[in-house]
Amino acid sequence: MSIHQGRFGDHRRPTLEVRVGEARIGGGNPIMVQSMTTTLTKDVDATVAQTVALANAGCELVRITAPTQADAACLEEIMRKVRAQGVTVPVCADIHFQPAAAFEAAKWVEKVRVNPGNFADAKTAYGFQKEFDDATYERGLQKIDDKFRPFVKLCRERGVAIRIGTNHGSLSDRILARWGDTPQGMLESALEYLAVCEDEGFDQVVFSMKSSNPKVVVQCYRMLVERLASEGRKPYPIHLGVTEAGEGRDGRMKSAVGIGALLLDGIGDTIRVSLTEDPLLEIPVARELLRATARPLSGDLTDFGGDPLVRPFAQAESIDPLAYRRRETMPVLLGETTVGAGNPVRVGSFYGAEQPSKDRVVEWFDGSADLVCLDEGTDMDEIKQAVEEGRVMELVCPDPAGLEDVAKRLPPSNLYMVSTDLSKAGPWGARRIVAAFEAAGIKAPLVLRWFLDGTELNELRMAATLGSLLCDGYGDAICLMGESRGNIVDLSYDLLQCAGARRSKTEFISCPSCGRTLFDLVTTSARIRAKTGHLKDVSIAIMGCIVNGPGEMADADFGYVGGTPGTVNLFVGRDCVKRSIPEADAPDALVALIKEHGRWVEP
């Protein structure tokens, strides 16, 4: 049996309970929805108004940034005014770089988020020290102990919860030097801080492991859950989020892929959907995503179709849930298009939709392959004849039950593709189907099918389910069917891009804004999209400040980052190449930079 078998997916992961004011995270409580204010914290009345508005919209925890000790001191008046209005929503202070701000914030709020990447360790803004010998590394650990232990003691005395919030974009120089910009580095960074909490007998801890890359998000959280379990540590609650998800459909879909895949795993006790929009708009999306991915805590554990759940990571699978690798498959030729064997994930047929945009071409159609329903009553003679005639067959598997025996009776061939209706089977059914074919020695490409009914709930569920598989390396083609809002083919390509499976248009990585942001993100993002949205093979990061900016731009080609009030710094990859550009001139300067590096094409 795989050591991962049963850890993910069959039910919501049980955790200890963390008290946050009058609210509770984990411990069997409903999954909590949270958001973050975008006002300047020193603007007390505006922050109070937004906190109250978020609470009235159904937000169950509000996070407020405290960039400095002076900002943290404002939390006293903010909390007094919020409570005076009868609003009891718990508040979490968001701390970066300033331990003094964390100590001040713990006097006034119910929870404090600390970032292991910059709470105690030195962090350079535009690069990092690349070498740390063992002695220097140990001094870094001692610095954590010196700065963080007194804070843990204060939180224990005051009954304040701590969120250990690791970000892919803000790992410390010390962690980067030893572990690299990797999920393993994120995990080790978080566990260094947990070690201090546990040594102090403090367990009111919530973890987050955020990235703008959903594949990294899924991998990090699974690694954390696996590590805690394998080391016999307490099952601490988990906060889920995809940082810098962006706006519009892309922001919603990228969040559904990363957060939804983990919720389907049974991981997650509180979530935030981070959109580059008004934070009030995050709440209904988060609520729908929870509906789309609901997992039972106990009782009759059933999957989407009502059958007993299959544990998702079966022994026969070739996929490791803790490390991304594209599943190896045989090539299948459909006309001039090859499906599988490491080729780009293909986009299948569509019904009831407008024609695809000119740069989105459907690459294969149902008519290219014989559709064969594979079950216990399958006519093997018919399949044998099709194989002899060289016809490609898409073996549609309505139910994984009993499929192992059927797969073993199939005649050998490289003409098979395998598919299932994921809206019924869920990701676990698809994994079991793949395992059944691989046990029979058949590495057929996998087609991910889904019927869209035009609702946001169905679309989010689709993104979570297909995204879960794509982030694991499953899927050689996707086939969305039925009526849908907008164009189904474009939706297919958008899903592949959000899941990191294939790029077909400009990719924007943009943060959701907060009190640290140095420009209007919504307006600025719209200006940059208008100028660069036609570029097919370019990724652009739009960041309000340097807390996560340079790190989250690890996968971006170009970066647009708030430097000081009124100015912008431009990046190529991780390298800051232009500083202190007036905000009014910065979008055009970004276009000039893209041209300078030969990545520009005219609209």
Return the half-sphere exposure (C-beta side, CA atoms, 13 A cut-off) of residue 54: 30
Based on the number of CB atoms within 10 Å of its own CB, is 335 exposed (0-12), middle (13-18) or buried (19 or more)?
Answer: exposed
Percentage above 90 pLDDT, the chain: 60
Using DSSP, state whether 521 is helix, strand or coil.
helix
Residue 394: pLDDT band (50, 70, 90) is very high
Helices 248-265, 422-439: inter-axial angle, 10-degree rounding: 60
CA separation for the pair 580, 233 (Å, rounded): 47
**What was the pLDDT predicted at 402?**
85
- DSSP one-letter code for 12: P
Per-residue pLDDT, averaged over 399-404, amounts to: 86
Residues 539-551: pLDDT tens digits? 888 887 665 555 5
**What was the pLDDT predicted at 4?**
41
More confident residue, 582 or 521: 582
Torsion angle (degrees, nearest 10) of CA 124, 129, 135, 137: 60
More confident residue, 21 or 521: 21
Beta strands 416-421 and 446-451, pairing class: parallel
**What was the pLDDT predicted at 512?**
67
Shortest CA distance to 495 belongs to which of 347, 353, 349? 347
Torsions phi, psi of 383, nearest 5?
-65, -40
CA separation for the pair 123, 175 (Å, rounded): 10
Which range among 30-34, 120-124, 437-441 shows the weakest confidence by mean pLDDT?
120-124
Look at residue 533 and tell me whether its pLDDT is greater than 90.
no
Look at residue 370 and tell me whether its pLDDT is greater than 60.
yes
Write the CB contacts of 520 (distance below 8 Å, at least 6 apart in sequence): none
Shortest CA distance to 177 belongs to which of 129, 119, 126, 120? 129
Torsions phi, psi of 561, nearest 5?
-130, 135
CA separation for the pair 395, 490 (Å, rounded): 26
- Tell the residue number behind the tokens 């505006």, with chain if given: 46
Residues 229-269: pLDDT tens digits? 999 999 999 999 998 777 788 889 999 999 999 999 899 99
- Tell the residue number behind the tokens 């005051």, with chain if given: 158
**What was the pLDDT predicted at 305?**
36
Domains of the chain: 17-292 (3.20.20.20), 332-498 (no CATH), 507-596 (3.30.413.10)
Helices 456-471, 214-230: inter-axial angle, 10-degree rounding: 70
Look at residue 505 and tell me whether its pLDDT is greater than 90.
no
**SS (HEC) of 459-502:** HHHHHHHHHHHHHCCCCCEEEEECCCCCCHHHHHHHHHHHCCCC
CA separation for the pair 512, 280 (Å, rounded): 12
Residue 507: pLDDT band (50, 70, 90) is confident
CA separation for the pair 27, 551 (Å, rounded): 33
Average pLDDT, the chain: 87
**What was the pLDDT predicted at 126?**
43
Q: What is the pTM (predicted TM-score) of this model? A: 0.89
Residue 8: pLDDT band (50, 70, 90) is low
Encoded amino acid at 51, one letter: T
Beta strands 393-396 and 416-421, pairing class: parallel
Residue 340: pLDDT band (50, 70, 90) is very high
**What was the pLDDT predicted at 324?**
86
**What was the pLDDT predicted at 318?**
62
User: E-assigned strands of 368-495?
Assistant: 370-373, 393-396, 416-421, 446-451, 477-481
**What was the pLDDT predicted at 314?**
44
- Tell the residue number behind the tokens 């980067």, with chain if given: 176
Per-residue pLDDT, averaged over 566-575, amounts to: 87
Shortest CA distance to 546 belongs to which of 558, 561, 533? 561
- Helix intervals (H) in 180-277: 183-199, 214-230, 248-265
Which range among 78-87, 89-98, 210-219, 478-487 shows the weakest confidence by mean pLDDT?
478-487
Look at residue 129 and tell me whether its pLDDT is greater than 80.
no
Beta strands 23-26 and 17-20, pairing class: antiparallel
**What was the pLDDT predicted at 416?**
97
Look at residue 292 and tell me whether its pLDDT is greater than 90.
yes
- DSSP one-letter code for 169: G
| First-last CA distance in the chain | 54
Name the token pair of 241: 């989020």
Beta strands 567-572 and 575-582, pairing class: antiparallel
Name the token pair of 456: 């946001």
Residue 24: pLDDT band (50, 70, 90) is very high
CA separation for the pair 95, 97 (Å, rounded): 7
**What was the pLDDT predicted at 471?**
94
Name the token pair of 453: 């009914």
Look at residue 45 and tell me whether its pLDDT is greater than 70.
yes
Which range among 14-23, 571-580, 588-597 shows the weakest confidence by mean pLDDT?
571-580
Using DSSP, state whether 234 is helix, strand or coil.
coil
CA separation for the pair 552, 566 (Å, rounded): 22
CA separation for the pair 418, 394 (Å, rounded): 6
Q: Compute CA distances 318 → 257, 288, 444, 472, whole Å.
A: 22, 33, 13, 11
Beta strands 32-36 and 61-65, pairing class: parallel
CA separation for the pair 208, 268 (Å, rounded): 10
* Cα Rg of the chain, angstroms: 25
